[in-house]
Homo-oligomer: A and B are copies of this chain.
Amino acid sequence: MSEPLKITARAELDEANENRQQSESASWLRRIRNVWRGIAGSFSSTVRADLSSANDIRLLREQMQACLDARGGEVSARARAALLGETYLGLDDAGRRRFLQLMASGFEIDRKTVDAAIEVYHNAGPEDRLKAEARLRRSLQPKHMKLLMQFNALPQGVKFLVDMRSDIIRLTEDDPFLLGLGNDLRELLSSWFDIGFLELQRISWDHPAALLEKLIAYEAVHAFRGWDDLKNRLESDRRCFAFFHPRMPQEPLIFVQVALVNGMSDDVSVLLDESLPVGAAEEADTAIFYSISNAQSGLAGISFGGFLIKRVVDLLHAEFPGLKTFATLSPLPGFRRWLSRSVADGSYVIPDDAVQGIRSLHEATETKNRAAALDAILDDPRWTEDDNVKRVLEPVLKAAAAHYLAREKRSDGRRARDPVAHFHLTNGARIERLNWLGDSSSNGLRQAAGLMVNYLYDLEKIEENHEAYSFTGDTALSSGVKRLL
């Protein structure tokens, strides 16, 4: 289970959506132009796609200013902002970068106003204090915030802003102004995508194909092999849930896939096997969360995953009272990279006697060599067919993985190095079990030598686990995992 977004696979879909969005937007803007004549007149519609003309930039700046001044009234300002948005959608990456830079650096806060407000703040008596604070706060509000909000007037304004944030992230590089604009936009989206606004929906085979194809495009953990695979994962012994925003009803924000099974799954290929018969959901005792994917790169840094899992646990609990265990079957995306590096630099040591059965490892006593020897074995998927190698490696790799998940921290010494582990530990889960060859796909072998892990959501312990992990970094472990350490 991993949070990073799948950018490449959905490029095509995004393009299609943008086309549709542009055409809808266009028809709406035509109406704006017809009804509220004169607004569009002042802005050239023949902007170059790369915004390379100084004149275009000058006109753009004027239009932005007109929006901020609400010239012609609020309604006109919105119409103007919509036209600006339309212009933006017509730009290529170079043009968008220039557009964003203009917004980011051309409409900042006014230092003099801030200094004056600080002055007032310092001199305020008790009765004026609140006012002075509010004034200072207002003076620090960048002007482009208002502009960002005005883009909401576009027919698909929320999606527009989410996609604009995605652009900013992609185009920022080291530009501090773009970074600042991106942070301001995140703040705005963070408020608009407050969890209280989101709708949790079960997604089934009865949903529109236009929505379902987005699951295929956005799935980040176990890519769909086609529509039959999709249908299999929406059968009666599965559940798929997603959060939606009321203003983006056809766009899942994040979605999770659950299998209703008996006993805690240890092999994801079983879950993905279309040829197996559909199970009896009513008789299941375990819900396995086997994939969770963020769908909107423009919402990076705004977290829904914890809410999604816990609300889904609630819903499943209500629908299937027979469920006793809620657990994930998750990848360890950084395990092999960490293992290579740590064995090489000696920060993690594999005991000599543990690898006696494999000559190349046993003989490579120097750390560097051992790392190379290990990579040599694991880089060739055929090791999974060699019983001897498997027998030797299983305890070695499971011990290393347990160490990796439970002990390896980021620089703050508190957060787990593995992003998926960090996600579930933050949610209060426990590291329950390591599954040998739980994902023997080429991706699974490359990332984690085929290992998968179950995180257990024990409703009685979630809060306690969360507190321990959040404040001290202490990680909840099953006795089995403890033994591996």
Contacts and interface: CB of A to CB of B under 8 A. Distances in A.
A140 B130 contact: no
A37 B152 contact: no
B208 A149 contact: no
A136 interface: yes
Given A35-B459, A246-B246, A130 B206 contact: no
A207 interface: yes
A55 interface: no
Nearest to A142: B133
One complex includes copies of this chain to the number of 4
A247 B314 CA distance: 22
A76 B207 contact: no
Contacts of A230: 209
Contact of A205 (B141, B183, B208): B208
Contacts of A206: 208-210
Interface residues of A, number: 75
A470 interface: yes
A303 B78 CA distance: 14
A195 B130 contact: no
A195 B77 CA distance: 12
B428 A73 contact: yes
Contacts of A226: 227
Interface in A206-262: 206-210, 212-213, 226-227, 230-231, 246-247
A210 to B, nearest CB: 5
B158 A196 contact: yes
Interface in A341-382: none
Interface of A: 31, 35-39, 71-76, 78, 109, 114, 118, 121, 127, 130, 133-134, 136-137, 140-142, 149, 152-154, 157-158, 176-177, 179-180, 183, 188, 191-192, 194-197, 205-210, 212-213, 226-227, 230-231, 246-247, 303, 306-307, 310, 313-314, 317, 426-428, 459-460, 462-463, 466-467, 470
Given A154-B196, A197-B246, A205-B208, 14 more contacts: A36-B459, A72-B428, A73-B462, A78-B195, A136-B136, A136-B140, A137-B137, A152-B195, A158-B197, A191-B192, A197-B247, A206-B209, A206-B210, A208-B208
